Structure 1
Amino acid sequence: MAAERARRVHLVVAAVAWFAVLFQLLLVLTGEAILVEEDPPGLATRIYRFFAYFTIQSNLLVAVTSTALARDPALDSRGWRVARLAGLVGISVTGVVHFFLLRPLLDLDGADLVADKLLHMAVPVLAVAAWAWVGPRPRVTTRDAAYALVWPVLWTAWTLVMGQVDGWVPYPFLNAAEQGWGAVGVACAGITLLFVALFALFGWLDRRLRPAPEAR
């Protein structure tokens, strides 16, 4: 019964995450101007920028890992542990950073607003709540957390380098041309500390909460 309940919970998270990502992709493909005031760029550039957002990557990680868990709620392997932990922490950072740094800058309505709330609020809340309720746990080790941290570090490095190449960054607090490198450095340091704190928190909770799903 516990495994079946876990399967249903993960299926709901996967369905919402996939819908949110695909819905936002549809809006991008049809030329909606997301987080920009000017007309949207060409199709190839729009697609690249869509996948360049940390928000999209974290939602995709949640969608993929939740889909796998919907098939096998007790799934376990080193690579999967890293992907799952990266997804949980990444989607948590997505929610926190959006709420405190990006939400005040946005003026969205209609379909754009729906997609924004799904990606930045619904999926983060559902993903963390599902983990807290049905696991799987225990799964987190210090080594897994170290591997999972590689993704956001590489994403940040790539984003800053590409920002110097073509002048575009997905988030305004990473725009060195407008904010200055000092402000960007402070933002990166603060978000890095948030990542480390969340990895530590998930690891601590992983050891303290009851194992899940319960044995069949």
Structure 2
Amino acid sequence: MTLPRAQFWHLLTAVVTIAAIALQLVLVIRGGQVLDEVEPPELGLRLARFIAYFTVQSNVLVAISAVTLARDPLRDGQGWRVLRLAGIVGITVTGLVHFVLLRPLLDLGGADWTADKLLHMVVPVLALIGWGVFGPRPRITRREVGLALLWPLAWLGVTLTVGGLSGWFPYPFLDHREDGAGAVAVTSLGVLVLFFALFSVASYLDRRLTPSPTTAAAD
């Protein structure tokens, strides 16, 4: 695929992702519904919890990488590679976990529903299509995989620690008071296995798929 097409897709992804994050942030500030919270806490705590969501973090990573790729579809660099890989795998996990574990728990309407679908469904689809079709690749080595893995591991550790101290968890399946610590351990292990699998798949496809994009003016 050519650079202009790649730029267009990455720009589209950036605009949609930033709009989705901004919409959710406005709803949080206004006291909108996030998951099953009925009585929102004070604003400072709402904002802290907003940032704590894996969904938000993965969307932010996608937004940053999409913005940089809209400017330069051939972008490269050690730190950027890690950010891009973490964002792609993270947003994939966001979509899968939402569809399997969270979607049945939600009863949203209006703008809350719109923000939820954008963050959990539309952005993952845009990001994955963009990575699969426009790359850039090859960009993944074992070093990038190892460094990118630090983010979900750190997020899980901090989330469980803070949740244990405060009593608030961003997702019900991480709350030991729901089904017990054993269930949380099993779920956490399952999510980590999913991460390892997705990082492996991404690394394999990065090597096997045709390098993209090209600098030609036409296909």
TM-score range normalised by the length of the shorter chain? over 0.9
Task: Tell me how far 1:39 sits from its aligned partner.
Answer: 1.0
What count of residue pairs does the alignment treat as equivalent? 216
Equivalent position of 1:91 in the other structure: 91
1-structure distance, mates of 2:116, 2:189: 25
Equivalent position of 1:101 in the other structure: 101
- Determine whether 1:197 maps to 2:197: yes
Task: Tell me how far 1:143 sits from its aligned partner.
Answer: 1.1
Task: Tell me how far 1:165 sits from its aligned partner.
Answer: 1.2
Give the match's secondary structure for 1:212.
coil
2-structure distance, mates of 1:82, 1:93: 16
Equivalent position of 1:12 in the other structure: 12
Q: Which amino acid aligns with 1:69?
A: L
Task: Tell me how far 1:197 sits from its aligned partner.
Answer: 0.4
Q: Which amino acid aligns with 1:213?
A: P
The alignment's TM-score, normalised by the length of structure 1, stands at 0.98
Equivalent position of 1:51 in the other structure: 51
Whether the 8 Å CA contact 2:135–2:213 is kept in 1: the answer is yes
Please list, as runs of the form range in 1=range in 2, the aligned pairs for 1:1-216 lying within 5 A after superposition. Answer: 2-216=2-216
1-structure distance, mates of 2:200, 2:37: 38
1-structure distance, mates of 2:140, 2:96: 21
The alignment's TM-score, normalised by the length of structure 2, stands at 0.97
User: Structure 1: which 5+ residue stretches go unaligned?
Assistant: none
Q: Which amino acid aligns with 1:168?
A: W
Q: Which amino acid aligns with 1:106?
A: L
What RMSD, in angstroms, separates the aligned Cα atoms of the two structures?
0.9
2-structure distance, mates of 1:73, 1:37: 40
Whether the 8 Å CA contact 2:36–2:106 is kept in 1: the answer is no
Identity %: 55
Give the match's secondary structure for 2:31.
coil
Runs (4+) off by over 2 Å:
none
1-structure distance, mates of 2:157, 2:37: 26
Task: Tell me how far 1:34 sits from its aligned partner.
Answer: 1.2
Task: Tell me how far 1:7 sits from its aligned partner.
Answer: 0.7
Task: Tell me how far 1:38 sits from its aligned partner.
Answer: 2.5
2-structure distance, mates of 1:69, 1:100: 30
Task: Tell me how far 1:194 sits from its aligned partner.
Answer: 0.4
User: Structure 2: which 5+ residue stretches go unaligned?
Assistant: none
